Amino acid sequence: MHTIKPFEKLTFHDDFMFGLVMQDKEICREALECLLGKSIQKIEYTEPQKSLNTFCTSHAIRLDVYVDDGNTVYDVEIQNRNEKNLGRRTRYYQGIMDVDSLEKGCVYTELKNSVIIFLCTFDPFKKAIPCYTVKRECLQDRSVGIDDGAVVHIFNCTAYEKVENESLKAFLKFVQTDMAESEFTRRIGNMVETQKAVESNKKFYLSWSLHDTDVRLEGREEGIRIGEKRGEKRGKKEGMNEKAVASARNLLAMKVLSHEQIAQAVELPIEKIEELAAELAKDVALQEV
């Protein structure tokens, strides 16, 4: 059963907390400057967990932090598990971001520059390089300038000791270890604790976590595995239903959300939530006897 990490134990490198802290435009701007090694005058727009879906039949994406400074759009992602899909994932993100940023009737020269940043708490390519920077180039003649305005930076936070720039080194070390050793990372650490003190954040986190992409993927995979034994369609439905029931029981035990909110979050009928609540109350009563 998928368990939800307690809100009180979240750190900066947890998706939800990362998005909350990066809503602060000043922290977001300084983080981008630190990672990219350049000055960013202002941030016009920042949105955590921004969903993009250009067509009803296309795969939707959810960006951890989406930023627009007027000339460049940035996607900053925190990645804690190596799903071995970064290449194709960044390719898809880049395409969806481009479609989203170029309005109808505009010419290609108006397409904004785009920067995708992944902060990985593992080494995705096992080369012990602190930052893997990826751009398109002409293989026959690398002096040929493609100039598509797109770049991908994949940071390997485990290699922070190899970074010469002290500010960047401290930031990557904080992401990897939660140890704040610079003025900037101490401010981030204080912001994390400030966000934990906001009760509404905790309620939102519990609801949000049930819609996390990884949870949904696990449900589909469980459905497929069961489907091999009981029939593809039936198995997939039962697998996803089991995941929803497990999540509902988890939330009921926490006693934070209402039954209606839980039903909406896990996409189960309110009658099923009431049934699970009754079962939980019965189990608690038996334990107290």
DSSP summary character for residue 154: E
pLDDT in tens, the chain (289 residues): 456 788 999 999 999 999 999 999 999 999 999 999 999 988 887 777 777 765 555 566 778 899 999 899 999 999 999 999 999 999 999 998 998 888 878 899 999 999 999 999 999 999 999 999 999 999 999 999 899 999 999 999 999 999 999 999 999 999 999 999 999 999 999 999 999 999 889 888 887 776 564 445 444 554 455 455 555 554 444 555 777 888 788 788 777 677 877 887 778 888 898 899 888 887 766 666 5
Q: What is the pLDDT of residue 91?
A: 94
3-state SS, 90-142, equals HHHHHHHHHHHHCCCCCCHHHCCEEEEEEEECCCCCCCCCCEEEECCCCCCCC
Residue with tokens 């309620």: 203
Crossing angle of the two packed helices 213-230 and 232-254, in degrees rounded to 10 = 140
Burial zone of 6 (CB within 10 Å; 0-12 exposed, 13-18 middle, 19+ buried): exposed
Q: Indicate the SS3 state at residue 230.
A: helix
Q: What is the dihedral of CA 12, 175, 169, 33, to 10 degrees?
A: -50
Q: What is the pLDDT of residue 173?
A: 98
Q: What is the pLDDT of residue 282?
A: 79
